[in-house]
Structure 1
Amino acid sequence: STRRASPSAKQVSVGRLIRALGSKRAIFLGEHHPELRDHLLQAALLQSLLSTRKPLAVGLEAVQRQFQPVLNDYVAKRIDEEQLFTATDWERRWYWSFEAYAPIFRMCREYGVELLALDVDSEDKAKVEL
């Protein structure tokens, strides 16, 4: 599908974008969950930001809070990607493709970037959903 930009949107160079983002305390990168190219763009932006800002951490809506120790183990290279997939119960708790998120996981692991589990645990959601 083709998405149209807002009439007020302006195209900027990647370098200019990275320089602008490099001075911010927090950056929120969204994506269309099923779009691999969106995830690849996020990974590329994060890779570029590594050269301009430290420390850097990546928060993940896709991973529930109870799995924070799993993310820590993955970044610390105590578990591999398959174990990350299994230990986060990915298929049951987040139905979007793990492979779409893998480039960000891999980049964070390679550079020691902290991954933060941001999603509410399913068990807690069940207590408040009608």
Structure 2
Amino acid sequence: MDAVAATARFDHPRASWLDPADGSLRDERELLTAMAGRQVVLLGETHTVPEIHRWQLHVATVLHFLRPNMAVGFEMFPRRVQPVLDEWIEGGLSTAAFLAKVEWETVWGFAAELYLPLFHFCRRHRVPMLALNCHRPLVTRVGKEGWDAVPENERDGLTPSAPATMAYRRYLAGLRFDRSASGEVDVSVVTDRFIRAQQTWDRAFACNIARALEVAEPPLVVGIIGRGHLEYGHGTPYQLRDLGVSSIGVLLSTARDHHEAPPLAGIADAVFRLDEPEPEIMPAKMAEMTAGERRKQVSD
């Protein structure tokens, strides 16, 4: 990498889409029209930031206008509650009854008010909601014992993950642990157990998205997923490609007014500049943790 590239700085004005490849600004209509032609568009989030959830709703609204045959998949729901999502879309539940039946407080736990506008959008427009997650104990078991130790009938409809790349290991190490003074990441701090668990989530989201595309007229599937499962083509996009789904868009948001070129390149198809986010809304237990403890507890 030459000295110019190493020190490149991309300015990012409010309410604009930035191309991470070269720092140019993308025309929103052109960008979202192109995204509406993909098989899958993944909208990354930090779970506790209200402004990101508003952005997801706005993007989903435009994509639905451009391509009405659309479904929205959510990391927040395990596959076993799919019948409840269907009931919600059909208007058969109050908001309180819906949250109770999906066991929101125990299964997910983040503030429901962050997500309810998007849930109501789906119901109002009869946009199918897809449960993308798997049974939580499966993640723990695969991490601890390995995939082959789990009987086929206990795999919650998943297939084995494609092997993790060294680049993904390095990325996860950077998420979970502070870099050294030289900026290097020690990949050895990320255990195989952690990688297996993380990839179980990645594969679950990918398998359930791919399953939704196996119909005569496939919808555009919009995925609402933690950004740690999406960035730099790792995680769920990598597992989707392994499943034969290649037309994938990844969109992210940021509140930063500028970016350094090397870290940004390849992170997503485009990044939207948000308004300054309001205070994060996080569960009380997480609010009590230090920033380092939160990074280790929540990898996405």
TM-score by length of 2: 0.40
Gaps of at least 5 residues in structure 2 are 1-11, 13-17, 145-300
1:51 aligns with 2:65: yes
- Which residue, out of 95, 98, 103, partners 1:89? 103
How far has the Cα of 1:11 moved from its partner? 2.5
Correspondence 1:99-114 to 2 at 5 A? 99-114=113-128
Give, in whole Å, the separation in 2 of the partners of 1:107 and 1:96: 19
Counterpart of 1:116 in 2: which secondary structure?
A: strand
Give, in whole Å, the separation in 2 of the partners of 1:116 and 1:53: 17
Give, in whole Å, the separation in 1 of the partners of 2:112 and 2:23: 31
Counterpart of 2:72 in 1: which secondary structure?
A: strand
2:201 matched residue in structure 1? none
Give, in whole Å, the separation in 2 of the partners of 1:39 and 1:23: 23
1:128 matched residue in structure 2? 142
TM-score by length of 1: 0.87
1:38 matched residue in structure 2? 52
Gaps of at least 5 residues in structure 1 are none
Counterpart of 1:29 in 2: which secondary structure?
A: strand
How far has the Cα of 1:12 moved from its partner? 2.1
How far has the Cα of 1:36 moved from its partner? 1.0
- Which residue, out of 85, 90, 109, partners 1:71? 85
2:160 matched residue in structure 1? none
Query: 1:129/1:7 Cα in 2 relative to 1: closer, same or farther (>3 Å)?
Result: closer
How far has the Cα of 1:129 moved from its partner? 4.3
Aligned residues: 127
Give, in whole Å, the separation in 2 of the partners of 1:82 and 1:37: 23
Aligned residues: percent identity?
A: 26
Give, in whole Å, the separation in 2 of the partners of 1:87 and 1:31: 24
CA RMSD of aligned residues (A): 1.9
1:61 aligns with 2:75: yes
